């Protein structure tokens, strides 16, 4: 890792694998959900075709929009890519581990959200503005729960370095089933569902104006810009799943490459199946009910912190 060329090559491979798998992860969720609901559904590789179609189209910019609207997809994609480089995926440590920890990861996610929310307001569209305001309101509940869950794990492992936490759990796997870890896992699982805009918090497959949150912010995007936003969203989704894996079930990370690849693919498949099952057995919550769900996640995370302090 001390060789700059080796570090750069590792970062490129790491990001390419996450970015390449991200559309497939979304496609598997869609296909699994369709099968659970008794439908044929799209093939798992459909997101790749959708992205290819969008990236070949010209960009359309609304008349009221400024440079903020044009810059937001690039900022959103850059923050998603940087966040992906902080989370260990196949090996330890992650490429940006010497310079960033889990707190920087949360800050990058917040910056990407802020860029899209600002772009939604910049268009002057009532629906985009509504989506932006809802996104910020939900984020005000997501981020404290996310930080508390990270702090709970950090107290137990001795810091907020994600790679160090994974290494600690690999050395002492029994610690992963402590009360604090289980509470933090439950809290972070709810946060990941909310942060990625999945049911029951949001529905990424709908464009109903009165119910959408994330989709409302990007409603005015089209063509290449929309493709970039969708790919960045998929990358963010698989990065958060990778975070959940790294903090709680890191077995396989840092192993011989074929074993590490098989382990991470199996875990992603399980996560995709779990998300599909959740979406098939639950309806989207009303906006006014979201504080109850996210507040429960925050309470679980706070209990995880308390348990970590007491047990330590």
Structural domain count of the chain: 1
pLDDT at 7: 75
Q: Confirm if 213 and 171 have CB atoms less than 8 A apart.
A: no
> pLDDT confidence of 208, banded at 50, 70, 90?
low
Averaged pLDDT score across all residues of the chain: 90
pLDDT at 2: 54
109/76 Cα distance (integer angstroms): 9
Q: What is the DSSP string of 188-224?
A: HHHHHHHHTT-TTT--TT---TTT-SHHHHTTT--HH
pLDDT at 32: 95
> What's the pLDDT tens digit per position in 230-259?
999 999 999 999 999 999 999 989 888 889
Domain containing residue 225: 4-311
First to last CA, the chain: 32
- Evaluate if residue 33 carries a pLDDT over 60: yes
- Evaluate if residue 127 carries a pLDDT over 60: yes
Q: What is the pLDDT averaged over residues 277-281? A: 92
pLDDT at 156: 82
> What's the pLDDT tens digit per position in 49-66?
999 999 999 988 888 889
pLDDT at 206: 72
Q: What is the pLDDT averaged over residues 194-213? A: 80
- DSSP 8-state code for residue 34: H
């Amino acid at each position: 890792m001390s060789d700059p060329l080796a570090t750069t090559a590792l970062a490129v491979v790491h990001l390419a694998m996450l970015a390449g798998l991200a559309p497939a992860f979304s496609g598997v969720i869609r296909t699994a959900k369709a099968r659970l609901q008794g439908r044929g559904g799209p093939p798992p590789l459909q997101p790749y075709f959708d992205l290819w179609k969008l990236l070949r189209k010209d960009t359309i910019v609304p008349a009221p929009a400024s440079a903020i609207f044009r810059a937001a997809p690039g900022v959103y994609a850059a923050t998603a890519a940087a966040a992906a480089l902080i989370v260990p995926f196949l090996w330890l440590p992650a490429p940006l581990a010497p310079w960033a920890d889990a707190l920087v990861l949360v800050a990058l996610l917040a910056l990407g959200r802020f860029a899209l929310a600002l772009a939604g307001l910049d268009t002057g569209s009532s629906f985009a503005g509504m989506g932006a305001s809802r996104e910020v309101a939900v984020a005000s509940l997501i981020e404290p729960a996310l930080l508390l869950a990270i702090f709970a794990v950090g107290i137990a492992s001795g810091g907020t370095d994600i790679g160090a936490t994974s290494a600690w759990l690999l050395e002492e796997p029994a610690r992963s089933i402590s009360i604090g870890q289980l509470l933090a896992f439950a809290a972070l699982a709810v946060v990941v569902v909310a942060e990625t805009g999945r049911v029951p918090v949001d529905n990424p497959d709908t464009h109903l104006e009165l119910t959408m949150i994330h989709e409302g912010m990007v409603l005015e995007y089209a063509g290449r810009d929309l493709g970039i936003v969708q790919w960045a969203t998929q990358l963010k989704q698989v990065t958060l799943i990778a975070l959940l894996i790294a903090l709680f079930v890191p077995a396989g990370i840092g192993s011989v490459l074929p074993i590490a690849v098989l382990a991470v693919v199996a875990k992603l498949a399980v996560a995709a199946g779990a998300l599909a099952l959740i979406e098939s057995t639950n309806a989207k919550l009303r906006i006014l009910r979201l504080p109850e769900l996210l507040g429960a996640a925050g309470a679980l995370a706070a209990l995880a912190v308390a348990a970590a302090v007491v047990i330590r």
